[in-house]
Structure 1
Amino acid sequence: MQALRATGLLDADSATSLDRLTRLATRLVKMPVALVSLVDVDRQVFVSAVGLEEPWASRGQTPLSHSFCQYVVTDQAPLVITDARADGRLCGNLAIRDLNVIAYAGFPLHSPDGQVLGSFCAIDGRPRQWTEDEVEILQDLAANAESEIALYTAHGELMLSSARMQTVLDTTQDAFVSMDHAGLVTAWNDAAHRLFGWSAAEAMGRPATELMIPERFHDAHRAGLERVRQGGRSRLSGQRVELIATDRDNREFPVEMTMQMAMERDRPVFHAFLHDITERRRLADQREQLLEQEQLQVRQLRELDKMKDDLVAVVSHELRNPIGVIRGYTELMAADPDLPEVLRQDLTVIDHTSARLTHLVDDLLDLAQLDAGKQFHLVPLDPGPLIQDAVRTHRITASARQVTLISEVEPLPVIPGEPRRLQQVLDNLLSNAVKYSLPGGTVTVTARHHDDRFVLTIADTGIGIPAEQYPHLFDRFFRASTATGLGIKGTGLGLAVTKAIVEAHDGTISAEPGTDGGTRFIVSLPARVQLTAEL
């Protein structure tokens, strides 16, 4: 059925070339009726009919109850009948009664791939003995009809392919333009109409120079065409190039063109896709300007950053004393046994707030000192006891939050370090791990000696950090959205201070998602002497 529909003849209005063959058949074999019949699922369609009576001639088809041709298709062989009324298979066919089909000679019509589509047949309304010459003539005419049907099929495929290609070209966002060897336009899609302002009807057959090439480039374009005609090669073929084009209103604009050259009948033809790159050029220019501005801003920011650090250091020093006074008076007032409970609760709030301010000022001072290049007094240090003390200290807070704190400490090397600062690193990382863990979670502290490095890993199963926020985790005042979303308080300075301390020890610190959720921080410090004692 696919092959049958591929001919395009089932719904064709006329088939002139096939009509010539059926008329020739009636003259050569002196038969009143000749048909080219294609057999569908439930009907036979006459794509050519000579001598057929009404109403069948106007209808152009019959049901299979009136078809002898169906047997040619099913048998895939010629069917030659002298008197259908005497044939056991055909005697009940309604074509005998309604179409007066008595004598019949039908021959298979094959598709190009060998499918039998129908028959070429001659019909008489009375019994007839078919001669050998008549059979050969009808076979030859059937072979010619097969050739005509193959041409219809090929033409249909060609038209379908052409329509498909035209649809692609009409819906593409790029302008598509084809030129012949003389530079005349032979194809012009809708995008070309939108880009250059000329409709396809206006553009076809006109020189491309009149439609899209600025006048000052006309001579160069013609010279290029002549070189290609002489040499048979184009330097631009297969290349992506940027050019200046013009539209119907003589507006010039930059385009990017990809062009291919082919040879047709020993002459070059050109096919090009083009699109407007005005916006891309504008963005490139803006980018250059922004880069220049950015370099200027970087210099300005460095100066501002230094001024800010100096200001932070001064302000932090000035804040220390007032905060200390506040905390001192708070403790003094809280020591009064006769103080009302309401006031005692207020003093607790003041004390907690002052403590957070003190911690903030300490962090700011630390950062200011580290930025100023303050040198640590490094001494040989056993990190094992520092880790044990830190775990012991934070285990109380972890227990209160129903978080399990685990430590796995291998034999460690002696490292160069400042004890108070490394204790600060441990406290910052452990307090964060516990604070951002949910009840039932686990914080695991692992310490080991690896390739002359001391490696400390602190992993939690807490709320985690969005992947896109990891690059900003050690920035000053940065806080992950998962923490702010849950209302967990913090200054966003702890990790910045921690990173500065680690780097001042010639170490590195990084963060990554944990294997069981949460976050894992990895600190690596240079080792000096291996320590063999069990910790």
Structure 2
Amino acid sequence: MADNIPQLRDRGRVDDPARLRALRATGLLDAGSVTSLDRLTRLATRLVKAPVALVSLVEADRQVFVSAVGLDEPWASRGQTPLSHSFCQYVVTDQAPLVITDAEADGRLCGNLAIPDLNVIAYAGFPLRSPDGHVLGSFCAIDGRPRQWTDDEVEILEDLAANAESEIALHVAHGELLVSSERMRTVLETAQDAFVSMDHDGRVTTWNEAAQRLFGWPAAEAAGRPATELMIPERLHDTHRAGLDKVRRSGLSRLAGSRVELTAVHRDGHEFPVEMTMQLCHERGLPVFHAFLHDITDRRRLTEQREQLLEQEQIQVRRLRELDRMKDDLVAVVSHELRNPIGVIRGYAELISADPGLSEPLRQDLVVIERTSDRLAALVDDLLDLARLDAGHRLLNPGPLEPGPLIHDVVQTHRTVAAAQRVSLTCEIGPLPVIPGEARRLHQVLDNLLSNAVKYTLPGGAVTVTASHEGDRIVLTIADTGIGIPAEQYPRLFDRFFRASTATALGIKGTGLGLAVTKAIVEAHGGTITAGPGPDSGTRFTVTLPTSSD
């Protein structure tokens, strides 16, 4: 029997995915009979005196009757037929009205099973389009005998089809509104922030679960009550009501669209800070309010703690600066006050040592006095250098300098001490260019580094001095095989008064100022100084100095 069913000229229009999506979007396929459409189909049967009128939506494999008047059983109860029993599919295919006087005499329709099973002989169907233009089905009138449809009947059915199309569009719009409303409700109910809506009288119209958690009032109890009573501390009620009155009079709110911090109250009476973002809208000419709120107790507590910590830190910084200033003042005063007594001690020691009749024990005591005076004088010089540096004074009076002879001279000065301590002292100096620098200060740098290397190297160890020209700099290294420095202490090595734990553990004397002064002099020359482990244990210092003053 299926072979007798005429083939559609354009099956693709029935199966078009976009049309089928638009059809499903109506929500009518499984809605059953639609009352507003039933009124139109009943009206059609009365106006054109046809026994049957249908609103038929065409799917890919069936037609569904969302309204049917006069249809025989079992089709009326089923509410649908396969497309083998459908004239409406041709309205979809042709995208145009289909008006048939006698289907049995029509070459395209004569084999359709709607003729014998549904008694469809005369048919007048008109397209029902979706809002975006897809033909979803037809509005049709059916007669079980041949009839000539008059122009008035065709016009009436066409007008009724237009009304049915409008009803379908309204149904679609209503469905979309319901989906949108449900989506919004879900968003608001699952939002982390409290959402509260108020009408123009300030009464709650929306109160989500987060609002219930935040304020302690269930939505059923909050609805319809003044928000003032639910959220605002009693002492602020008058202010809140006055604000609402002002908005009602002016239609404007200074709070709308901005984030504000307010004091709220829980149902149990405790107050807490909230941040609110509020929007003012107008519905039917009256203001309504929508607000998101969240608790900022933790944030405010952290802010207060941060401010307290900052205040404490500022107090501490001021104290440290004051202590630093006092220390610098003390260093400067002590340095100046010590210089004269030391000079006097050294002067008297020189006078006494010039006496030819001085006994040998006394002469040895004078040597100790002179050596100690020299150490004190060096300490005072270091302290004065650091005080000048802190005061912003220049440490240098640079001029052209040949570094090679200067390095040789310092090394020769320390050979006697190194030999006495059985420490090997070697020097390897390559060709070096003239550099800008102050000889006295660079001599001080080399003397500090070399004296430390010899002092902290045990008998049998070695100290190596190398110098080379690399690019626009000369590189000087002093490496020893001495007691070394713990790795974690290298970053503090150039701090004032710092001494490595390896030196203090062995009782080796020192002030901890030499390397601080050395670093200041090197940097004043535009150079760098670094320290690290030596290749064979011990420590290696590396000094770089620029070859020009640019």
Q: Would you call these one fold, judging by a TM-score over 0.5? A: yes
For each residue in 1:469-498, what CA deviation from the matched residue of structure 2 results, as whole angstroms up to 9, or x when unmatched? xxx9995389xxxxxxxxxxxxxx9xx979
CA contact (8 A) 1:415 1:527 kept: no
The AA in structure 2 aligned to 1:184 is R
Q: Distance in 2 between matches of 1:524 and 1:304?
A: 34
C-alpha spacing 1:50/1:213, structure 2 compared with 1 (3 Å): same
Q: 1:476 aligns with which of 482, 492, 497?
A: 492
SS in 1 for 2:177: helix
Q: Distance in 2 between matches of 1:171 and 1:256?
A: 19
C-alpha spacing 1:30/1:473, structure 2 compared with 1 (3 Å): farther
Q: Who is 1:48 aligned against?
A: 67
Whether 1:120 and 2:142 are equivalent positions in the alignment is no
C-alpha spacing 1:128/1:217, structure 2 compared with 1 (3 Å): same
Q: Who is 2:125 aligned against?
A: 106
Q: Who is 2:442 aligned against?
A: 419
SS in 1 for 2:294: strand
C-alpha spacing 1:477/1:503, structure 2 compared with 1 (3 Å): closer
For each residue in 1:385-416, what CA deviation from the matched residue of structure 2 results, as whole angstroms up to 9, or x when unmatched? 69x99xxxxxxxxxxxxxxxxxxx99886245
Q: Distance in 1 between matches of 2:150 and 2:173?
A: 35
Q: Distance in 1 between matches of 2:200 and 2:116?
A: 64
Q: Distance in 2 between matches of 1:250 and 1:120?
A: 64
Q: 2:159 aligns with which of 124, 128, 140?
A: 140
Q: CA deviation at 1:198?
A: 2.0
- Structure 1 alignment gaps of length 5 or more: 311-364, 390-408, 428-443, 449-453, 457-471, 479-492, 512-522, 531-535
Counterparts of residues 161-176 of structure 1 (less than 5 Å)? 161-176=180-195
SS in 2 for 1:58: helix
Q: Distance in 2 between matches of 1:109 and 1:499?
A: 96
C-alpha spacing 1:296/1:20, structure 2 compared with 1 (3 Å): same
C-alpha spacing 1:374/1:162, structure 2 compared with 1 (3 Å): same
Which range moves more in the overlay, 70-79 or 23-32? 23-32
Q: Who is 1:267 aligned against?
A: 286
SS in 1 for 2:142: strand
- Structure 2 alignment gaps of length 5 or more: 1-19, 331-378, 390-394, 409-430, 451-467, 476-487, 495-511, 531-542
Q: CA deviation at 1:6?
A: 2.2
Whether 1:62 and 2:84 are equivalent positions in the alignment is no
C-alpha spacing 1:384/1:91, structure 2 compared with 1 (3 Å): farther
The AA in structure 2 aligned to 1:44 is Q
Which range moves more in the overlay, 206-215 or 291-300? 291-300
Q: Who is 2:205 aligned against?
A: 186
The AA in structure 2 aligned to 1:476 is R
Q: 1:30 aligns with which of 49, 52, 61?
A: 49
Q: Distance in 2 between matches of 1:426 and 1:97?
A: 117
C-alpha spacing 1:34/1:247, structure 2 compared with 1 (3 Å): same
Q: Distance in 2 between matches of 1:425 and 1:54?
A: 116
Q: 1:18 aligns with which of 37, 42, 49?
A: 37
C-alpha spacing 1:92/1:256, structure 2 compared with 1 (3 Å): same
For each residue in 1:392-448, what CA deviation from the matched residue of structure 2 results, as whole angstroms up to 9, or x when unmatched? xxxxxxxxxxxxxxxxx9988624584367779999xxxxxxxxxxxxxxxx99644
Q: CA deviation at 1:237?
A: 1.1
For each residue in 1:302-342, what CA deviation from the matched residue of structure 2 results, as whole angstroms up to 9, or x when unmatched? 799999999xxxxxxxxxxxxxxxxxxxxxxxxxxxxxxxx
When the two structures are superposed, what TM-score results if normalisation uses the length of structure 1? 0.63
Q: Distance in 1 between matches of 2:469 and 2:30?
A: 81
Q: Who is 1:439 aligned against?
A: none
Q: Distance in 1 between matches of 2:432 and 2:279?
A: 68
Name the larger-Rg structure.
Answer: 2
Q: Who is 2:217 aligned against?
A: 198
Q: Distance in 2 between matches of 1:62 and 1:414?
A: 105
CA contact (8 A) 1:109 1:119 kept: yes
Q: 2:240 aligns with which of 218, 221, 224?
A: 221
Q: Distance in 1 between matches of 2:447 and 2:140?
A: 103
Q: 1:75 aligns with which of 77, 80, 94?
A: 94
CA contact (8 A) 2:22 2:134 kept: yes
Equivalences, count: 392
For each residue in 1:250-299, what CA deviation from the matched residue of structure 2 results, as whole angstroms up to 9, or x when unmatched? 22110011111122222111111111000011111211222233345546
The alignment yields a C-alpha RMSD, in angstroms, of: 4.3
Counterparts of residues 379-528 of structure 1 (less than 5 Å)? 379-380=398-399, 414-415=436-437, 418-419=441-442, 447-448=471-472, 475-476=491-492, 500-501=519-520, 504-505=523-524, 507=526
Q: Distance in 2 between matches of 1:149 and 1:70?
A: 18
Q: CA deviation at 1:44?
A: 1.2
